[in-house]
Structure 1
């Protein structure tokens, strides 16, 4: 089953979610639009009007095939609610812009005279035919005119800016209007939905648009236009379109676009409306891309969440303290087991769709994956297990509201990984492409690409210009990425590599040992520094980049510079620890060759143990 069929199935399974509230599942033939003005009509007479605030402006409106994706020089009007330049018959009297009321009137008149006519729409049509809407809004003080009685194009003063100019992007003629008739908010009225749907479906049949719908295999009205506003109410990109008759979209293979794709109007509406609903409900934006996942039986099975990154793993994970990796692993397994129990079936199918606008008018599918819930959760569990590392979290102090940092374990989010490796602000296209690659690692269990690891090593070994806290947060993310890469690399080669989060005193890897040694040297110098403001740059930090490239010669230089600081210590604990680490380095294999990413793991694991470890704390006190 393809993505369109899956979305149609989601729509049919969730008809009870069709509501008049914003971001709910929309009926067939309806879209959401930001309205600026609300007009109240009683028995075909104007009563009042008001400018809407942003929080209440999102409005469900009926649309036609042409108006749902309108663009170009002569855009089609919507059937009922629309911009002032479409619905105000008297606009020509107060504006230099030509009114499009004649085109708007054709559909509304046909609707009101059909077997599906709705009394409230008929009353509204009677009012609009009187041609007083623009003048009524001017009298109400909502529309602003100049000395010649024409609508002002813009407000030139900085003070006392009218609400209409604050809300509308463009001119006053672009103000979008919705109506309340006889106390009924038409955009929320279920009877209006039934009336419009019945009339428009019959009209499409009478126009001879019946053909084979390749989505369902049934005969029904077809269309080559798919609604826009997929990602949000301002999104004009479309997933499928065929207006490029002069290019090479279908020329050379088909004589007309209908030969390449015959798509039912109702099916396409269901698919796009379901996709909009899922994105608003549980989608996640990464730069210019949006990703959304849903289950075939339980659509709310998956939710994007910043703390757990791809999936919400339960309330206890984000704020919990994990003193050991084992604690974190147990909590993670518990959270994943809870998800597996929700659908109650092992073969629950999970779909993930990624969208990105290739151009302002074209929306492309950059990722689509179908997998079983059991396999998906196994991949997600492995991701979090292999990319977890030390993590600085914050809790809010009840009395003062101050955020208090504490150390735990966890996995960094996609946004955190990309912003740490590439710096902020992140280019939206870079974030979108990086998210696509990382989601493949998370959902499909693919190994982490090498370039992420190399970037993490470069970032971690260049501490210049960062204070202690900033650099520590960079190290946390970089270590998580590096650890993930080496575990994946070992798995590809058919072996298991544990790479524990806590310091591995049994590891004889030269890069890891050099990282541990540099961490001890940094800690000794930092502990004996003259000032305590955290801004002192130690020799270990200053020479880190050089040490990674030329470890043998740089180590000798660092040891010489460390002597004055060793004399200030009142204990031999740290010196003995440094000696113990250096004694494990095989001199026959130690040379001026660049160290691997395991250097960063050893450095941060050792430094974390020195700062937050408790074993033997009484022995190391000065």
Structure 2
């Protein structure tokens, strides 16, 4: 099945359930959601009662042509802009005549209603401008002409059910049946979506992606440009989609994008189950979805974290209604121009496979959290920001900004890696490691997040390329010279912080932090420089017990480094030095390590 088929399945499911808390409701066939400006109140006989401003999204009935109208006059079926409801010049008279003829056709059908009769009788009087001026609701442009785009909606006082036509579901059902009967007169042909012979749509809905209101997923064929010429003789030969299929699919996609889509850099990332199964979001960490509205459990061991991930997978699987063929659809939309909406990526995955892919990514792309208490997986967006973003404000919380073009492309790449189990992109890993090797450029909070996320990325990268499951506990005898040099850097940093204590001087960066970027390139050379500074300025400020403790630790690290040939001592460090730096630093700040230091 393709996107439109899955969207139709979604539409039928959504119609069968009651959704009350969504940001935007699901539109019936032959209706659109638009923004109202003024609500006009009339009685059942079509007499004016009053009007008021109504700044809200409303559902209104439309025709196929009016739903995608541009400059040509194509009136909606009931609620419309003021230029279709009044007659004050030749152009408006022609537009109003079209509106009245259309409304009269509905009245004369088997699906008429007293509400539309009342509206017809009122509009026929041509008194709307006078009535709105009387109530001081008529907005004028700077040249004192009428603002023709004011959207008018109706409230028929005294009618059955809900008096506002944009809330009356019974009236909406009547119009849908009326218009589908009318559409049956269109040319029938094979629908590419359903495979049945049905009346085809000549135009398709626009505005399914609110950031690009005029962008269409399927453009209308025209006879003046080159939409189909050169490939087909007639425009109908290019593609044939029935009106009903087009309406269902586009309205379902609009609902999904508005209520569930994630917008990044002007691109919409969407993942959903057409059968309505509850699934974790493809953009978020698995555990964040599992414990969305509850307190996260404390997970400080990698084994416990893996157990929790497995429990989360089993929990989702146990709640599936369709245990066999349930699918997850992943769709990524982007508007290349203001009039064209592109489907950038599309994928269908069985739910069981989908859950396993998320679990496997989160199992290896994980590290200690911001406060170093819980193990967690960073979101795709956070990896993107800290790999390519720039910190604009180093005070307070700090804010990392990234350009829209880079963010949407990188997020898309990482999402495909996560869902298709592809190797982690080497360039993204290199970029975030390069940023984490210049921690002194960032504010304190950003620095911590950057280091945590970088370690998670390194761990994932090493698993993908070398099948190495990086331990998340300090390995003092690890046979990795970069790892050991990272440990050494953390020790020198801790010595200086302990020596400076809580004085104001401690607010400055340590020498170890300032030298980090050059230390990575010539580690032994700058380790000797730091050692001289420790001997000259900082060991003298510590009590003898701490000096012995730190010297013993430095000696142990140097003995591990001495196991490698001297020719490797000044080679540029690999990414694993950040793991050694983080884990040694974490160990130095734990209660157990501090007790050992005191002894």
State the TM-score, normalizing by the size of structure 2: 0.89
| Cα distance in 1 for residues equivalent to 2:227 and 2:572 | 51
Deviation at 1:539, TM superposition (A): 1.2
- Distance in 1 (CA, whole Å) between partners of 2:438 and 2:224 is 53
Mapped pair 1:112 → 2:107: yes
- Could you list the structure 1 runs, at least 4 aligned residues long, displaced by more than 6 angstroms after superposition: 18-21, 96-99
CA positional deviation for 1:109: 2.2
Q: Which residue pairs with 2:296 in the alignment?
A: 319
Partner of 1:486: 462
- Evaluate the alpha carbon distance shift between residue 252 and residue 487 of structure 1 in structure 2; reply closer, same or farther with a 3 A threshold: same
- Corresponding residue of 1:460: 436
Equivalent residue for 1:399? none
More off after superposition, 233-242 vs 255-264:
233-242
In structure 2, the partner of 1:505 is 476
For the residues of structure 2 that align with 1:488 and 1:38, how far apart are their CA atoms? 60
CA distance in 2, matches of 1:521, 1:99: 83
Alpha-carbon displacement from aligned partner over 1:108-141 (angstroms, at most 9, x marks no partner):
2222222322221111111111111122122112
Distance 1:320 1:557 in 2: 44
Contact 1:90–1:133 under 8 Å retained in 2:
no
- Which of 169, 173, 177 does residue 198 from structure 1 map onto? 177
2:425 pairs with one of 430, 433, 449? 449
1:402 maps to what in 2?
none
- Secondary structure of 1:429 counterpart: helix
Alpha-carbon shift at residue 391 of structure 1 (Å): 1.1
Cα distance in 2 for residues equivalent to 1:450 and 1:305: 20
**Change in 2 beyond 3 A, CA 1:308/1:141:** farther
Structure 2: distance between partners of 1:478 and 1:10 = 38
Secondary structure at the counterpart of residue 383 of structure 2: helix
State whether residues 272 and 329 of structure 2, in contact with CA within 8 Å, keep that contact through their aligned partners in structure 1: yes
Distance 1:362 1:621, change over 3 A: farther
Inter-partner Cα distance in structure 2 for 1:197 and 1:18:
19
| CA distance 1:142–1:296, change in 2 (3 Å) | closer
Offset of 1:271 from its aligned partner?
0.8
> SS of the residue aligned with 1:609?
helix
CA–CA distance in structure 2, aligned partners of residues 154 and 602 of structure 1: 70
How much does 1:248 deviate?
4.4
Moved more, 244-253 or 517-526: 244-253
**Aligned 8 A contact 1:566 1:575 in 2:** no
CA deviations 1:123-174 (Å, max 9, x no partner) are 1111111111122122112224xxxxxx24399xxxxxxxxxxxxxx98432
CA drift at 1:429? 2.4
Cα distance between partner residues in 2 of 1:333 and 1:317: 18
* 1:189 alignment partner in structure 2: 168
List aligned pairs for 1:521-536, cutoff 5 A: 521-529=492-500, 531-532=502-503, 535-536=507-508
Distance 1:343 1:121 in 2: 45
Q: Is the contact made by 2:211 and 2:266 (CA closer than 8 Å) also made in structure 1?
A: no
* Inter-partner Cα distance in structure 1 for 2:487 and 2:341: 49
Report what 1:567 is aligned to: 540
| Structure 2: unaligned runs, 5 residues or longer | 390-399
C-alpha spacing 1:312/1:11, structure 2 compared with 1 (3 Å): same
Counterpart CA distance in 2 for 1:376 and 1:171 is: 55
Residue in 2 aligned with 1:540? 512
- SS of the aligned residue for 1:616 comes to helix
**C-alpha distance in structure 2 between counterparts of 1:69 and 1:255, whole Å:** 24
Which whole-Å CA distance do the structure 2 matches of 1:97 and 1:128 have between them?
13
The reply to whether residue 373 of structure 1 matches residue 351 of structure 2 is yes
- Runs of at least 5 residues in structure 1 that lack an aligned partner in the other structure: 145-150, 156-169, 394-405, 491-495
The one of 258, 261, 273 aligned to 2:239: 261
1:143 to 123, 138, 163: 138
**What is the distance in 2 between the residues matched to 1:308 and 1:133?**
56
Larger CA deviation: 17-26 vs 267-276: 17-26
Q: Secondary structure at the match of 2:463?
A: helix
Match of 1:175 in 2: 150
Could you tell me how far apart the structure 1 residues matched to 2:181 and 2:476 are?
Answer: 77
Contact 1:153 1:171 in 2 (8 A): no
| 1:493-547 Cα deviation digits (max 9, x unpaired) | xxx3110223233421111111111111111112212654563111111111111
SS in 2 for 1:364: strand
What is the CA-CA distance between 1:488 and the residue it aligns to? 1.0
Q: For residue 382 of structure 1, report the CA deviation from its aligned partner.
A: 0.8
User: 1:581/1:76 Cα in 2 relative to 1: closer, same or farther (>3 Å)?
Assistant: farther
Question: For residues 252 and 152 of structure 1, do their structure 2 counterparts lie closer, same or farther at Cα, with a shift above 3 Å needed?
Answer: closer
Change (3 A) 1:438 1:262: same
TM alignment of 1:202-601, pairs within 5 A: 202-206=181-185, 208-232=186-210, 235-243=213-221, 245=223, 247-303=225-281, 308=286, 312-315=289-292, 319-343=296-320, 345-392=323-370, 407-423=373-389, 424-490=400-466, 496-529=467-500, 531-532=502-503, 535-563=507-535, 564-570=537-543, 571=546, 572-585=548-561, 586-588=563-565, 590-601=568-579
CA contact (8 A) 2:13 2:276 kept: no
CA RMSD of aligned residues (A): 2.7
2:393 corresponding residue in structure 1: none
- The whole-number CA distance in structure 1 between the counterparts of 2:304 and 2:73 is 60
Cα distance in structure 2, aligned partners of 1:134 and 1:407: 66
Residues 485/365 of structure 1: CA separation in 2 closer, same or farther (3 Å cut): same
Instruction: Determine if contact 1:328/1:409 at 8 Å carries over to the other structure.
Output: yes
Given that residues 63 and 78 in structure 1 are in contact (C-alpha distance below 8 angstroms), is that contact kept between their aligned partners in structure 2?
Answer: yes
How many residue pairs were aligned? 575
Deviations 1:52-91 (A, max 9, x none): 24xxx011111221122222x325222111222222x145
